[in-house]
Structure 1
Amino acid sequence: MRLPISPQVRRALVALATTVVAAATAAGPAVASGSPAKPPRATPGAPGGEAKKEPPAAMSQAGGAQLGKPGDQLGADAPALPPDLSALSWVVADADSGQVLGARNAHWPLPPASTLKMLFADTVLPAVPHDASRKVSDEDLKGMGDGSSAVGIVPGQTYQAADLWRGVFLRSGNDAVHVLAAMNGGVDKTVADMQKRADALGAKDTHVLSPDGYDAPGQVSSAYDLTLFLRAGLKNKDFKEYCGTASADFPGGPNTKGKPFGISNTNRLLSGVDGVAKYPGLIGGKNGYTTNAGNTLAEAAQRDGHTILVTVMNPQENKRDKVYTEMRQLLDWGFTAAGKAKPVGTLDPTPRATGYQAGPSAETASGSADSGIGALGWTGIGAAVIVVGGAGVLVLTRRRKASPRSTRGI
């Protein structure tokens, strides 16, 4: 039943709504057609963004209390770190034991770029039959962000699941991701499935809004969580094969007269192209880049009976090869530290199973969500005002426009 609202009350509520919306508009980013303004909460270190910020004072302590501390975290007998590491966040871990050998701001929630595709693959690979195929429709490719990386999917053509996965892992193709998401029941279902998988793995810093890692306000992960995704994915033989494939043929379309064309892996530490030497013993992983995330990279390598996992997020020196330089240095460091350095935490976030006592979560300590949205500022959802009076309830909400989309991403 609707309650009548007097003209006086209605005018008061409209005035309040106008004030709130005006204030929210002033606080939110202005977006103009073709030329979005810089958001006030740009990702630290992003090209064109604000100056580097410090990590949140309160971060998750999943995997051990020391992992929730800001700055470099090393245990007793750890070798000296490589000089000039500029990444905002990194984690080095032993894949077999789950021990975290060293870290910097392990639980800092940051935009993940295409490294989030590891969670997509870990979630969807078991759900889509290996021998499945799909005739691609225009609808399958809707919702891809401007400037998305693509492998070259052609609507109207039929693709095998294996080819689509090679498109995901080698070319970081958002078009291949969207087709596989359609085969999994759609983008919305896939995003929900990915979030459930992240939660099941104990990846509490991760908030999923897109299946491909394309920049979205509030979409974040952490070096700790991305390392969890890589470790979990490598337990799937198909994941391991795809992420370790340096080159392959991809089905052609009209532009190639139906002939397959060659694709090489954008992970240059694996493919060894453009002046980046291959890393000895590299199993594989996933790289990413967007304007907001900067460069991100997760890798696994094997040597002398040890499998080392390393995730690097957003090196501050904006050189194209810097993420690979720092990854190489940290992999070398990890092999030196394995079996010698006292661990600073574990990749198993369950205290009962590891003996590590996880401290209070970031949510308990700071009142912000586990996803870390409070630390970065979730600009995707604007202010909500609830006015309660004898005449009824008025809820006013405002969605801010998305922060500037990446003009280039992998």
Structure 2
Amino acid sequence: MHTKSFSLLPVVFAIAAGALVPSAASFAAKPSAHKKPAAAAPAPAAVAGETAVSGGAPALAAKAWLLMDFDSGQVLASANPDEALPPASLTKMMTSYLVEQALRSGKLKKEDLVTVSQNAWCRGSGTESCMYLPLNSQATVIDILRGIIIQSGNDASKAIAEHMAGSEEGFAKLMNAEAKRLGMTHTNFVNATGLPDPAHKASARDLAILARAIIRESSEYYPIYAERDFTYNKIKQGNRNALLYTDPTVDGLKTGHTADAGYCLVTSSKRNGMRLITVILNTSSAQARADQTRTLLGWGFGNFEKATPIQPNTAVATAKVNFGKVDTVAAGLGSPWTVTVPRGQQVQTSAQIKPDLEAPVAKGAVIGKVVASSNGKPVGEAPLVAQADVERAGFMLRAWQHVTKLFGK
């Protein structure tokens, strides 16, 4: 968890009063991600979710929501998870993810300079969230990344899009290509910011998939998502994720808001070795998205637990091997394996071995998989590997094995 040295008392009091409201001295941008603050929209009807937990999931006043186990990617509870909705600034998770991937691959360097064009520049009207990069100025990639994640800067997002792809339209093509690679099947990006467009959509499931990819693949940069504030151009702005100030187990990820999208929040929390990801889409206020996320995290950690279906170094099955010096090899786990299941439920396993294995087989080679299920539903799977080497038989033994195989002996 990233910590800062400033006092948290004003934040705590603000949250207690019903909302996390940035002070005028600390925040130059408006608290809304893209639009001027308006009266709270009517709360969506409470939507009950689907889950394997006896007694069901909580009903949340959001158009769509989802709870995912980070380790397995398993959806633990959801409501309307595949409905394509306006994602607002949750879009910027893909923008930041592409920057992080480019940094990891060496296509970008932290100290590379990004120029702020007329198109990217925020004019300071307060109608959108900005990093407040001066027109025609240059900023480093790492500052731009912080401006996207912490300040939700539209200017930072547009500037890096133009830097990486020549135009925001070109960058949107990169975003959609990456979404397809990740398996985000109900998403279409039109821009790098999340500003409203009828064709710009994403689902709760897809946004959870993206959040999981960021946590898993961008470990060097993921701590930025927990930073509470960032100062650039002598303007200090705070992270709008209220849970970063009140729950030490929360370490990301992103807020979003437009009139069409409502108030949205994607969050990750890790407690006692289990990490959960939540997505809340289209609630009525910043307070509502924070409260519903707290409810969903509390319910998730209270109703699910980690289970170890099989201990490492345990033979799970015996695999038949053709044309080897021995006829079989033990199959077991190559590494520790856990699954997330409703508390108190038993876990069953079934092994699936690759057919027609032929020697040689190297120790540690994947020769099948084991599937875990609970209450009749799959909850995870792991590869099974050979527990020993199997050398190929000599010519005469192989010939005899061919004959016996031909006659079914």
TM range (shorter): 0.5 to 0.7
Q: What's the CA shift for 1:71?
A: 5.7
Aligned to 2:170: 189
Query: What TM-score does the superposition give when structure 1 sets the normalisation length?
Result: 0.60
Counterpart Cα distance in 2 of 1:261 and 1:47: 27
Counterpart Cα distance in 1 of 2:94 and 2:251: 17
Q: What's the CA shift for 1:51?
A: 10
Aligned residue pair count? 270
Aligned to 2:308: none
CA contact (8 A) 1:306 1:338 kept: no
SS in 1 for 2:101: coil
Aligned to 2:32: none
Aligned to 2:141: 161
- What is the 5 A alignment of 1:324-403? 324-339=290-305, 340-341=341-342
SS in 2 for 1:217: coil
**What amino acid sits opposite 2:238 in the alignment?**
S
Counterpart Cα distance in 1 of 2:254 and 2:226: 9
Counterpart Cα distance in 2 of 1:49 and 1:226: 23
- Render the CA deviation track for 1:163-188: whole Å, top value 9, x for unaligned: 11111111111001011111102212
CA 1:88/1:140 → structure 2, altered by over 3 Å: closer, same or farther? closer
Which sections of structure 1, spanning at least 5 residues, go unmatched? 1-45, 55-69, 253-259, 273-277, 344-351, 357-410
**What amino acid sits opposite 1:134 in the alignment?**
V
CA contact (8 A) 1:121 1:239 kept: no
Q: What's the CA shift for 1:202?
A: 0.8
Counterpart Cα distance in 2 of 1:123 and 1:353: 32
CA contact (8 A) 1:72 1:103 kept: yes
SS in 2 for 1:312: strand
Counterpart Cα distance in 2 of 1:99 and 1:217: 30
Q: Determine which structure has the larger strand proportion and give its number.
A: 2
Counterpart Cα distance in 1 of 2:179 and 2:130: 25
Aligned to 2:392: none
CA 1:123/1:145 → structure 2, altered by over 3 Å: closer, same or farther? farther
Aligned to 1:180: 160
Q: What's the CA shift for 1:102?
A: 0.6
Aligned to 1:219: 200
CA 1:327/1:181 → structure 2, altered by over 3 Å: closer, same or farther? same
Aligned to 2:132: 152
**What amino acid sits opposite 2:110 in the alignment?**
H
Q: What's the CA shift for 1:137?
A: 3.0
Counterpart Cα distance in 1 of 2:91 and 2:231: 24
CA contact (8 A) 1:177 1:211 kept: yes
Q: What's the CA shift for 1:145?
A: 12
Q: What's the CA shift for 1:131?
A: 2.1
- Render the CA deviation track for 1:218-276: whole Å, top value 9, x for unaligned: 211011000011100112024412211112321x2xxxxxxx33221122221x3xxxx
1:205 to 164, 186, 198: 186
Q: State whether structure 2 residue 118 is matched by structure 1 residue 138.
A: yes
CA 1:150/1:210 → structure 2, altered by over 3 Å: closer, same or farther? same
Q: What's the CA shift for 1:161?
A: 1.0
- Render the CA deviation track for 1:348-371: whole Å, top value 9, x for unaligned: xxxx99979xxxxxxxxxxxxxxx
Counterpart Cα distance in 1 of 2:65 and 2:92: 18
Which sections of structure 2, spanning at least 5 residues, go unmatched? 1-37, 103-107, 306-340, 347-367, 373-409
Counterpart Cα distance in 1 of 2:261 and 2:125: 15
Aligned to 1:73: 50
Task: Report percent identity of matched pairs.
Answer: 26
Q: What's the CA shift for 1:334?
A: 1.4
CA 1:355/1:114 → structure 2, altered by over 3 Å: closer, same or farther? farther
CA 1:145/1:288 → structure 2, altered by over 3 Å: closer, same or farther? farther
CA contact (8 A) 2:176 2:189 kept: yes
2:61 to 63, 82, 86: 86
2:271 to 274, 299, 303: 303
Counterpart Cα distance in 2 of 1:161 and 1:295: 28
CA contact (8 A) 1:47 1:291 kept: no
Aligned to 2:82: 107
Aligned to 2:209: 228
CA contact (8 A) 1:91 1:310 kept: yes
What is the Cα-based RMSD across aligned positions, in Å? Answer: 3.2
Q: What's the CA shift for 1:49?
A: 8.9
CA contact (8 A) 2:115 2:163 kept: no
Aligned to 1:268: 242
CA contact (8 A) 2:120 2:156 kept: no
SS in 2 for 1:299: strand
1:124 to 75, 78, 99: 99
Q: State whether structure 2 residue 212 is matched by structure 1 residue 244.
A: no
SS in 2 for 1:91: strand
CA contact (8 A) 2:48 2:79 kept: yes
Deviation above 3 Å: which 4+ runs of structure 1?
46-54, 77-82, 139-146, 352-356
CA contact (8 A) 1:109 1:221 kept: yes
**What amino acid sits opposite 2:61 in the alignment?**
S
CA contact (8 A) 1:145 1:214 kept: no
Counterpart Cα distance in 1 of 2:112 and 2:145: 12
**What amino acid sits opposite 1:132 in the alignment?**
D
SS in 2 for 1:232: helix
Q: State whether structure 2 residue 249 is matched by structure 1 residue 281.
A: yes
Counterpart Cα distance in 1 of 2:121 and 2:369: 42
